[in-house]
């Protein structure tokens, strides 16, 4: 195991304690789980934490426009709005002309590896510290489901000096995928029905070089966003 250097705060209260104090920096992580389990909220808290620290953040969404995601997060007060409006956060979506220039159009076969080069070039030239990529499903669509290009892109992201969260729509924690294999760590968000209603949980499925608690932990949605653990155990 390579030694783990600095750790990066997730921005999610209670989560860092599960992973030995934070995410090992400059690595690639996958945040997966079914729809509505809190993946985007988790990643938005991670982005806002970066902006608060004065870090440079790249947020790429292929599902939502900037205003759409602002709207989705508007019920929380973890400072996402402020982060989006600061010069710390660059937001790229596949709907804007910037985004289309960046990613090309789906099915545009001439330039699949160009996406990788443009993305890593941008991260390296702007000294980006944190990247959020939402999501692998759309990435596959964009890359014509070409496995080699997907692996090439993820491997290139791993080599940058950014800590990257990649949202994956995997709904089965035991299923295998390239992104899980390539990632330094995998975080799985659970939604499960119980008698008293919907329970939510988070589970660290793997984290290289880190002593982790792999049990499913309770997650609550609070005014401040996601919080891991019951209110009693989380200290602020």
Domains annotated for the chain, with CATH where assigned, are: 7-228 (3.40.50.300)
Residue 150 confidence (pLDDT) above 50: yes
64 vs 61: CA distance, rounded Å: 6
d(CA 39, CA 88): 22
CB 29 within 8 A of CB 154: no
> pLDDT at position 232, please?
44
Please give the model's pTM, rounded to 2 decimal places.
0.91
Q: What is the pLDDT confidence band of residue 95, given thresholds at 50, 70 and 90?
A: confident
Q: Is the model's pLDDT at 120 over the cut of 90?
A: yes
H or E stretch covering 91: strand 89-93
pLDDT > 70? residue 116: yes
d(CA 118, CA 102): 7
Band (107; pLDDT cuts 50, 70, 90): low
171/209: higher pLDDT? 209
């Amino acid at each position: 195991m390579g030694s783990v250097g600095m750790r990066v705060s997730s921005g999610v209260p209670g989560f860092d304690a599960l992973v030995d104090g934070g995410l090992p920096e400059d690595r690639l992580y996958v945040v997966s789980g079914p729809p509505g389990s809190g993946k985007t909220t988790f990643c938005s808290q991670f982005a806002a934490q970066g902006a608060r620290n004065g870090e440079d953040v790249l947020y790429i969404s292929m599902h939502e426009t900037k205003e759409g995601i602002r709207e989705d997060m508007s019920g929380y007060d973890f400072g996402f709005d402020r982060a989006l409006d600061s010069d710390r956060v660059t937001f790229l979506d596949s709907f804007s002309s910037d985004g289309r220039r960046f990613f090309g159009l789906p099915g545009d076969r001439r330039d699949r590896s160009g996406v990788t080069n443009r993305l890593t070039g941008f991260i390296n030239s702007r000294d980006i510290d944190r990247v959020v990529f939402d999501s692998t499903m759309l990435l596959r669509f964009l890359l014509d489901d070409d496995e080699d290009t997907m692996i090439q892109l993820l491997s290139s992201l791993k080599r940058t000096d950014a800590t990257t969260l990649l949202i994956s729509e995997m709904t089965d924690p035991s299923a295998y995928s390239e992104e899980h294999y390539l990632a330094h760590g995998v975080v799985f968000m659970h939604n499960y029905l119980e008698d008293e209603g919907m329970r939510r949980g988070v589970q660290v499925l793997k984290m290289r070089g880190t002593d982790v608690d792999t049990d499913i932990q309770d997650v609550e949605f609070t005014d401040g966003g996601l919080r891991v653990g019951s209110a009693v155990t989380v200290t602020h």
